[in-house]
Amino acid sequence: MHVVIPYVVAALLFGLGVYGVLRRRNAILVLMAVELMLNAINLILVTADVSLRSALTGVAVESWARPGAAVPGTGGVLALFVIVLAAAEVGVGLAIVLQFYRMRQAVVVDEVRLDGDEERVAG
């Protein structure tokens, strides 16, 4: 498989996520758009790791890593950390959205009041 295809797919996913963050009014859909962006980053990390490994096939390990160290799949490890971060983001984000819904009976991002005023803004 050509290495450009996953990069293009990741760019499309990231662009779709940015569009979702900028255009959506529902907080749940904004969180889903952020998840799309994090998945695009995971795809880039794993693809970069695989393409780098294939480019360095004939190069000795000591020239690009610590001497004698086994070189793990760093792209996969970083993608795992991003997945953990995404899970934490979903947990905290959904807790905030649910608390906001309990207080205001709406999850529209445009109606969020940060000044502590309890009256609802008509939109």
CA dist 107 and 97 (Å) reads: 7
Residue 66 lies in a domain: no
Residue 113 lies in a domain: no
Indicate the pLDDT class of residue 62, thresholds 50, 70 and 90: low
CATH of the domain at 24: 1.10.287.3510
Residue 119 lies in a domain: no
Residue 8 lies in a domain: yes
Q: Which residue has the tokens 């000044």?
A: 115
Indicate the pLDDT class of residue 115, thresholds 50, 70 and 90: low
Q: What's this model's pTM, rounded to 2 decimal places?
A: 0.70
Indicate the pLDDT class of residue 63, thresholds 50, 70 and 90: low
Residue 63 lies in a domain: no
Residue 31 lies in a domain: yes
Write the pLDDT tens digit of every residue in 71-109: 556 777 788 888 888 888 888 988 888 888 888 777 777
CA dist 17 and 39 (Å) reads: 10
Residue 60 lies in a domain: no
Per the CB < 8 A criterion, the answer to whether 37 and 13 are in contact is yes
| Segments forming the whole domain that contains residue 43 | 4-54+72-107
Residue 122 lies in a domain: no
Give the total number of structural domains in the chain. Answer: 1
C-beta atoms surrounding 62 within 10 Å = 10
Write the pLDDT tens digit of every residue in 6-55: 999 999 999 999 999 999 888 888 888 999 999 999 889 888 888 877 66
| pLDDT the model gives residue 122 | 53
> In 3D, which of 56, 36, 34 has the Cα closest to residue 44?
36
| pLDDT the model gives residue 2 | 81
